[in-house]
Chain A
Amino acid sequence: MLSLLIIGLPVAAVLVTLGLGWRPSTPWVGVVADAIVLTIGFAAALHDVGHRAHSTVGGNLRIDSLSAFMVIVIGIVSLLASWGSVRYLRHEVESQHCTSRHAVQYAALMQSFVATMLLAVLAANIGILWVAVEATTITTTFLVGHRRTRGALEASWKYIVLCSLGIALAFLGTVLVYLAAVHAGGHSIHALDWTWLTTHAHALNPAIMRLAIGLLVLGYGTKVGLVPMHSWLPDAHSQSPAPVSALMSGVLLSVAFYALLRFKVIAVLCLGETYPRVLFVTLAIMSLALSSLLLLSQRDLKRALAYSSTEHMGLLALGAAAGGPLAISGVLLHILGHGLAKGVLFLSSGEIALADGTSDVNEAGGLLARRPALGGAVAVGLAALLGFPPFSLFLSELTMMRGEVANHMAWAVGLSLVALAIAFAGIATIGRRLLLAGPRGQATGLRTPWSAMAPLVLGLSLCALIGTLTWPLVPLLHAAAKLVTS
């Protein structure tokens, strides 16, 4: 019942939004729904950490520790994004950039997007997971193209074509898994169930599974934005409205990564450690190399943040390749921390765009002097993203590296450090241009309204809080990591 309730909330928010039509209060519906989702996620996590999974709807939905953790991540980031959307939508409607009909459409699509992501993490079988991830593509396409500019059109075309292709390949992989499961004695929908697949993994035909896992990693990897299937990502992230970018970068990528984590367990049980590790490591190395190098030459804040997402996904893939409880709990914590930091940064890029009409770091330079509050939030956010303590990304990167060492992948630590150093250089340059340099002689010390700052402050303080007191999360992380380690 719990999982149905969790998915039902954003769906209800969609209906209410559509029913209300455009009013100043309409965007708040989503905020409320997401806040409740977050609370329920917490409650579920605290209530039965690592005990037993709850299934509903004929066993098609299930909430276990990992799902509960992902619900929390989705809940937090979507709360921030919906909160940010309130200002974005008001501004768009007031400045007549979009009609009130499109504003309602946006709010409804945003909540359907959240609902599909929740469905993906709560799905008990890989079929429903596939349908849900495909549905995220469909709902987000219009969000990406919401600004209706030429660039937005190009980005949404690229996005839907590439992601549909990726997800189609994932479907092929799913079919092959089903074939292997049927050969191993499964029947109908239960042969696609996560737990059935994990318990029967050793009986699955390795030759078929090898092909299937390859296709699944390629397919969901497209959605994660791993190189070489990443080319939609910088375009989509830079052209979408800021709250949408926050949601996509903060959680959509991680939701797809969650699928990879689950498939990896099955792959390890069926094919041994080497094959999935090689797959993950290859994608990780390519992602880290390309994204960190491209970060050096970015001038657009949102594009830079997008490449930084690819880089972080590469780090996650490296951690997942190592496997083992330590590395995996690091990966999960990193998903949360990255979601928060990236969410905050994308939202602030939206504020900058609202104020200055651009996200080019040179044109919007001198932010710290011009808008101290916003500039401060960006500075702190960038520091969090770069993995400075006390933010949780420091802790999670450290944990992943310890896990990698523990699993005989010490070279991966060196690799991550090199990539992090290059990315540091890139992001530091962008930060310096955006915050310090820039056009002189403009008004300084402008105030940023509280309504804009509140979600930013909330996100950053949560990130710092998790980084210092990991208390409520530690048992949850351990239980969740246990689910995806063999």
Chain B
Amino acid sequence: MTDHGVIASLLALTSGVVLLGAALALWRRVARGIVNALRVQGLALGATAALLGLQLHNPLLIVTAALLVTVKGYVIPKLFARLIHLDPSSSETEPVINVPASLVASVFLTMVAFVATRPIVDSARSFPVSLVPFGFAAVLIGCFVLVARRKAVSQMVGLLLVDNGIGLVALLLTTGVPMLIELGGTLDVLLVVVVLRVLVTRMHAELGVLDLDALQELHD
């Protein structure tokens, strides 16, 4: 650890926080708490990009960092805050899978991520790549949130957790995929959030609550 220098240990810290943010989102029931976990994660992601930029002397990454911090640390949480305001009852009172069980599941998922990324870590052996399991674990926990939570807000958060995890993996592995794809990706995420936001507004108009359990007409 010590020979990698301060930036390396800070990188380890910020990547760890991305994973911690995912676990926090699973831990908290209150909608506001979940969104705060998302904000923490977004900021940590931005910090990771900035640190990588400093380490590699890559100004593009600093720009990416600024973008990430604004979008994921500010714009998206703000959007969520309004949604929660729309339906104050959007806290998760009765998750499909209870909190202790889902936390234990997240432990399991983290281990799966750790095992699954072995080949990647082994193939590269450079420092930031060894942090990739954090990102993978965040992705898996995000998927779990999508399955285990039935409130519209929680599901949106789950999707964004997945996205942040993937963002971390992309940053660490390739220090950013080519800029074109990166931009396309960020734009798409924003659009998806906006689309979901529109759907939530419709849901609120139609049902009065933001609970997906109220929408169970279609099934076989």
Q: Please list the residues of chain A having a beta carbon within 8 angstroms of any beta carbon in chain B.
A: 60, 127-128, 130-131, 134-135, 137-138, 141-142, 145, 148, 150-151, 153-158, 160-161, 164-165, 168-169, 171-172, 174-176, 178-179, 182-183, 188-189, 192, 205, 207-208, 210-211, 234-235, 238-239, 294, 297-298, 303
A297: chain B residues at CB < 8 Å are 220
**Contact status of A175 and B174, CB under 8 A, knowing A150-B206, A153-B206, A192-B181:** yes
Apart from A127-B181, A165-B146, what 10 extra A-B contacts exist at CB < 8 Å?
A128-B184, A130-B185, A154-B212, A157-B196, A160-B196, A178-B177, A205-B123, A207-B120, A211-B120, A234-B220
Q: How far is the CB of B15 from chain A (nearest CB, A)?
A: 15
A-B contact pairs, 12 of them (CB 8 A): A127-B180, A130-B181, A134-B184, A134-B188, A141-B199, A153-B199, A168-B159, A171-B185, A178-B173, A189-B178, A189-B180, A238-B218
Distance, CA A158 to CA B155, complexed state (A): 10
A303: chain B residues at CB < 8 Å are 220
Distance, CA A335 to CA B86, complexed state (A): 45
Determine if B218 and A176 form an interchain contact, defined as CB atoms under 8 angstroms apart.
no
Determine if B173 and A176 form an interchain contact, defined as CB atoms under 8 angstroms apart.
yes
Of B24-32, B68-76, B100-108, B161-169, the one touching chain A: B161-169
Name B182's closest neighbour in chain A (CB-CB): A127
A178: chain B residues at CB < 8 Å are 173-174, 177-178
Out of A150, A160, A207, name the residue touching B217 (CB < 8 Å).
A150
Out of A141, A161, A238, name the residue touching B146 (CB < 8 Å).
A161
Task: Check B85 for interface membership: any CB of A closer than 8 A.
Answer: no
Distance, CA A165 to CA B139, complexed state (A): 10
Q: Which residues between 162 and 220 of chain B lie within 8 Å of chain A, taking CB atoms?
A: 162-163, 166, 169-170, 173-174, 177-178, 180-181, 184-185, 188, 191-192, 195-196, 198-199, 202-203, 206-207, 212, 215-218, 220
Task: Check B5 for interface membership: any CB of A closer than 8 A.
Answer: no
A150: chain B residues at CB < 8 Å are 206-207, 215, 217
Distance, CA A153 to CA B195, complexed state (A): 12
**Contact status of A207 and B122, CB under 8 A, knowing A127-B181, A161-B155:** yes
| Those 3 A-B pairs whose CB atoms lie nearest each other, nearest first | A207-B119, A131-B184, A127-B181
Distance, CA A175 to CA B123, complexed state (A): 15
Secondary structure at the B interface, as helix, strand, loop or mixed, is: helix
Q: Which residues between 135 and 171 of chain B lie within 8 Å of chain A, taking CB atoms?
A: 139, 143, 146, 152, 155, 159, 162-163, 166, 169-170
Determine if A182 and B215 form an interchain contact, defined as CB atoms under 8 angstroms apart.
no
Determine if A192 and B159 form an interchain contact, defined as CB atoms under 8 angstroms apart.
no
A235: chain B residues at CB < 8 Å are 218
A160: chain B residues at CB < 8 Å are 192, 195-196, 199
**Contact status of A168 and B162, CB under 8 A, knowing A150-B206, A156-B199:** yes
Q: How far is the CB of B58 from chain A (nearest CB, A)?
A: 13
Distance, CA A142 to CA B196, complexed state (A): 10
Determine if B120 and A239 form an interchain contact, defined as CB atoms under 8 angstroms apart.
no
Name B143's closest neighbour in chain A (CB-CB): A165
**Contact status of A192 and B119, CB under 8 A, knowing A142-B195, A155-B218, A157-B215:** no
Distance, CA A189 to CA B195, complexed state (A): 29
Out of B124, B162, B195, name the residue touching A141 (CB < 8 Å).
B195
Determine if B166 and A208 form an interchain contact, defined as CB atoms under 8 angstroms apart.
no
Task: Check B116 for interface membership: any CB of A closer than 8 A.
Answer: yes
Determine if B220 and A211 form an interchain contact, defined as CB atoms under 8 angstroms apart.
no
A182: chain B residues at CB < 8 Å are 174
A127: chain B residues at CB < 8 Å are 177-178, 180-181, 184
A156: chain B residues at CB < 8 Å are 199
A131: chain B residues at CB < 8 Å are 181, 184-185, 188
Distance, CA A176 to CA B218, complexed state (A): 36
A205: chain B residues at CB < 8 Å are 119, 123
Distance, CA A161 to CA B162, complexed state (A): 11
Distance, CA A148 to CA B202, complexed state (A): 8
Determine if B166 and A168 form an interchain contact, defined as CB atoms under 8 angstroms apart.
yes
Determine if B120 and A172 form an interchain contact, defined as CB atoms under 8 angstroms apart.
no
**Contact status of A192 and B116, CB under 8 A, knowing A165-B146, A172-B169, A179-B173:** no
B174: chain A residues at CB < 8 Å are 175, 178-179, 182
B202: chain A residues at CB < 8 Å are 145, 148, 153
Distance, CA A412 to CA B122, complexed state (A): 37
A208: chain B residues at CB < 8 Å are 119-120, 123
B119: chain A residues at CB < 8 Å are 205, 207-208, 210-211
Q: How far is the CB of A119 from chain B (nearest CB, A)?
A: 11
Determine if A154 and B215 form an interchain contact, defined as CB atoms under 8 angstroms apart.
yes
Determine if B218 and A138 form an interchain contact, defined as CB atoms under 8 angstroms apart.
no
Most B CB contacts (10 A, CB to CB) among A60, A134, A148, A161 go to A161
Distance, CA A70 to CA B179, complexed state (A): 28
Name A307's closest neighbour in chain B (CB-CB): B220
Out of A145, A164, A176, A207, name the residue touching B159 (CB < 8 Å).
A164
Name B203's closest neighbour in chain A (CB-CB): A153
Most B CB contacts (10 A, CB to CB) among A153, A178, A238 go to A153
B169: chain A residues at CB < 8 Å are 172, 175
Determine if A161 and B159 form an interchain contact, defined as CB atoms under 8 angstroms apart.
yes
**Contact status of A157 and B199, CB under 8 A, knowing A172-B166, A172-B169, A235-B218:** yes
Q: How far is the CB of A71 from chain B (nearest CB, A)?
A: 22
Distance, CA A153 to CA B211, complexed state (A): 12
Out of B159, B162, B195, B216, name the residue touching A138 (CB < 8 Å).
B195
Name B192's closest neighbour in chain A (CB-CB): A164
Determine if A175 and B170 form an interchain contact, defined as CB atoms under 8 angstroms apart.
yes
Distance, CA A169 to CA B122, complexed state (A): 21
Q: How far is the CB of A447 from chain B (nearest CB, A)?
A: 34
Most B CB contacts (10 A, CB to CB) among A128, A135, A154, A183 go to A154
Q: How far is the CB of B139 from chain A (nearest CB, A)?
A: 7
